[in-house]
Amino acid sequence: MKKITLLIVLLITVSSCVSSKSTLKNVDDYAPDLVLNKNNTFVITEFAKDKKYGYNPDYPINIFFQNTNNETLNESRFLNALAGPNGEKITYSKLETCCPFPTKRSNMGAGFLNVYELKWEGQKKPIKLYLNIYEKGILMVPVGLRLK
């Protein structure tokens, strides 16, 4: 009896890791496809007005680009288009993968967000951005950053 109870508890725990309903607030399957410019970065024409965009795991930067086969390429295409608040050159590094959510664009049925730390000269505290390679959305420059 203890084995059956343990098995049931284990199954409930494992199945609860990914909710069947996504918490992402800014997915837009009808968003235009992303375009590359001659510098091999994404063309970005909009600036976010919502301070949560990119800074909150429920409002990640959705950079789905044709497929998810090379996530670091797509992420660098976005990050390399950005600059600090006064045009400073930024450096970035991937901190972690987190925040599972359900998606139809993954063989597993779940996607994850990648968290990047951005730094630039004169900055007091590095910032963290949440990037999502599995879903589409309007690509924007997060509040407090600029385009190169």
DSSP string, 24-73: -S---TTSPPP-B-TTSSB---EE--STTTTTSTTS-EE--BSBSTTHHH
Residue 146 has pLDDT above 60, yes or no: yes
Residue 57 main-chain phi, psi, to 5 deg: -60, -20
CB–CB of 58/25 below 8 Å?
yes
Task: State the pTM of this model.
Answer: 0.83
**Per-residue pLDDT tens digits for 52-83:** 999 999 999 999 876 656 778 899 999 999 99
Closest CA to 61 of 136, 143, 6, 145: 136
Going from N- to C-terminal start, the domains of the chain cover 18-147
| Rounded-to-integer distance, Cα 59 and Cα 45, Å | 18
CB-based burial of residue 89 (10 Å sphere; 0-12 exposed, 13-18 middle, 19+ buried)?
Answer: exposed
**Per-residue pLDDT tens digits for 78-135:** 999 999 999 999 999 999 999 999 998 888 889 999 999 999 999 999 999 999 999 9
**Identity of the amino acid at 4:** I
More confident residue, 5 or 109: 109
